[in-house]
Amino acid sequence: MLSKSTAPVSMKSLTGPPKRLLVPVTAFLALFYLIPLALITLMSAGHPPSFSLGLELLNLAHYTKFLSSPYYLKVLLDTVLLGLIVALITAILAYPVAYFLVRSRSRYRGFIYFVTLIPMAVGMNMITLGWLIVLGRNGFVNTLLDSLGFIDQPLGLLYTWPAMVVGLVNVIFTFMVLPIAAVLKNVDPSLERAARNLGAGPVRTFLMVTLPLSAEGVAAGFLAVFMQTSGALVMPLLLGGTSNTVLSVSIWEQYAVANDRYFAAVLSLILLAAALSVLWLQLKISKSREVL
């Protein structure tokens, strides 16, 4: 007679964890995300948030308002651009840090890892306040430049696009480093050594071997950074200037000031669509790479 430990394993248990493990998170998402999303979609079409549907109330007036407004189209463009720029800069800065964390045997690795996690621990609001002090008219940068004799008058560093970009790159940096590092860990170093042995220089090895093999990590980090940047409110509101409005600020304004929740719903769905578009693009690129 076979003991329990040597009993044959059923095919069912080989197909992965049971789907019922997904029930709690699915229920949570349905209750706190899908249902509110449905109600917001109704609101964007002019229908009050309600479970009883009045088809005669539906209209696309608020969508027409958005699409016919050069101002709001510019806000959408600025929002997407900000997300892309921040993601690109973060990727360029984060990759070497991720590479160091994975490949280096330096005793400072732990310290660098800790420093990388600090933005997550400190939080966006505190970091924003910090940059307000650093970039201010009497802040660290202007004071340093003045003391070195480079400037006579303080530079207007705050309330500009660069101020927003710097702040966002700082606060979201961790979300780029960690995915890249996770994928780099699975890249066999012997492949890089093989390339070097075959005569490829360090740059060519990186471009032809390391980067392609770690592209999924970069893509995952890019997506995470883009989504967080495009939805950021506090930093654009406090570090951005009058002409640097992004969708999240417009949404808040329509809700809290104009009291036009229907138009705020439209802007929210536009923002969601922009983020999902980037997700779709990333998935499409990943899939085409699998085929290749």
Partner 1 sequence: MTNISRRRLLAATAGAIAASPFLVSSLVHAKDNRIVVTSLGGLWERSIRRDFIPLFKKRTGADVDIVLGGPSQWMSQIESQPGKPPLDTIDNSETLAYQLMAQDMAVKLTEDKVPNLADIPPIFRAPWDDYAAMYMYSAAGFFYNKEKIKDPPKSWVEFFERAGKGEFGKSLSLPDISYGWGNAFIWAYAAAHGGGIDNIELGFDAIERVKPYVVKFWANSGEVERLITSREVDIGVFWDGRIHSLIEGGADYLGFQRMDSHVLISGMASQVVKNGNEALALEFLNTLLDPVPQLRFHETINYAVTNAKVQYPEARKNQILPASEGIIPPYRELAQLTPGMIQTWNQKIRT
Would you tell me which residues interact with partner 1 (CB under 8 A)?
71, 74, 132-133, 136-139, 156, 158-159, 237-238, 241-243, 245, 249, 252-260
- How far apart are CB 233 and partner 1 at their closest, in Å? 11
DSSP assignment of 33-57 equals IIHHHHHHHHHHTT--S-SS--GGG
Token pair of 141 as six digits = 């940068």
Nearer to partner 1, 84 or 234 (CB): 234
Nearer to partner 1, 156 or 162 (CB): 156
Nearer to partner 1, 76 or 94 (CB): 76
- How far apart are CB 260 and partner 1 at their closest, in Å? 6
Cβ-based burial of 1 (10 A; exposed 0-12, middle 13-18, buried ≥19): exposed
Nearer to partner 1, 224 or 235 (CB): 235
- How far apart are CB 14 and partner 1 at their closest, in Å? 35
- How far apart are CB 151 and partner 1 at their closest, in Å? 15
3-class DSSP assignment, residue 16: coil
Nearer to partner 1, 100 or 255 (CB): 255
Cβ-based burial of 62 (10 A; exposed 0-12, middle 13-18, buried ≥19): buried
- How far apart are CB 102 and partner 1 at their closest, in Å? 40
Query: Could you say which DSSP state residue 8 is in?
Result: P
> ∠ CA(142), CA(144), CA(150), 5° rounding?
80
